Chains A and B, each alone.
Chain A
């Protein structure tokens, strides 16, 4: 079983601050995705990273895939209350057969 460890588990910060959350594994992933989930809803895809060292930006969110494709980070600049939610990283191990493996997520609260 390939595990994805996310840290921190909980994060509560003030509006306007910057933050980084991490997703780490001892396994190599062919690609990795970040999802955001709100209470009572399913996860919604934010980004897919495929190439080691890849950086993708989505407005105030910056996603990076580690060079060895074992880890990833999500950086949010000038956080807003609308960023509040559960951020999940999920990896594909390759081979075509497996479903996505999810981490436990980072619960993010942005206080006004």
Chain B
């Protein structure tokens, strides 16, 4: 296993367009997380899945955002009607269990979204 993979690495889109990002976690990890990171800030929690169930959503996740993990493996994050304020790095992470011990969270390299 080569770690957490995210695709695409970079996305430039026009305001109002929809975008979808994909995350492939480490195969034996049952938890998957989405974070957003803007320049100069730490990652902000968006949502997480345990297997295929979405267990928590941050208030940052507006109605324009939706995440899925249909078979408990890869996940997608869709942003509808993008706004310039959505420009950020979107990070995916996975963990075995809660991630508060051992290897913790393993992050992907992120998808850099630019809305013009």
Contact = CB atoms under 8 A, between A and B. Distances in A.
A100 interface: yes
A97 B41 contact: no
Contacts of A103: 42
Nearest to B45: A99
A31 to B, nearest CB: 5
Pick the most buried of A30, A42, A96: most chain B CB atoms within 10 A of its CB. Answer: A42
Nearest to B41: A104
A40 B99 CA distance: 23
Interface stretch (A12-20, A43-51, A70-78): A43-51
Overall SS of chain B's interface = loop
Interface in B78-115: 91, 93, 98-110, 112
Most chain A C-beta atoms within 10 Å of own C-beta, residue among B56, B103, B104, B107: B104
Interface residues of A, number: 26
A104 B43 CA distance: 8
A90 B100 CA distance: 10
Given A30-B100, A42-B91, A42-B108, 15 more contacts: A40-B110, A40-B112, A41-B109, A41-B110, A42-B109, A43-B107, A45-B103, A45-B104, A45-B106, A50-B100, A50-B101, A96-B98, A98-B56, A105-B42, A107-B40
30 contacts: A6-B42, A31-B100, A33-B100, A40-B110, A40-B112, A41-B110, A42-B91, A42-B93, A42-B109, A42-B110, A44-B107, A45-B103, A48-B101, A50-B100, A88-B42, A92-B100, A96-B98, A97-B55, A98-B56, A100-B45, A100-B99, A100-B105, A102-B35, A102-B42, A102-B44, A104-B40, A104-B41, A104-B42, A105-B41, A107-B40
Interface of B: 4, 33, 35, 40-45, 48, 55-56, 91, 93, 98-110, 112
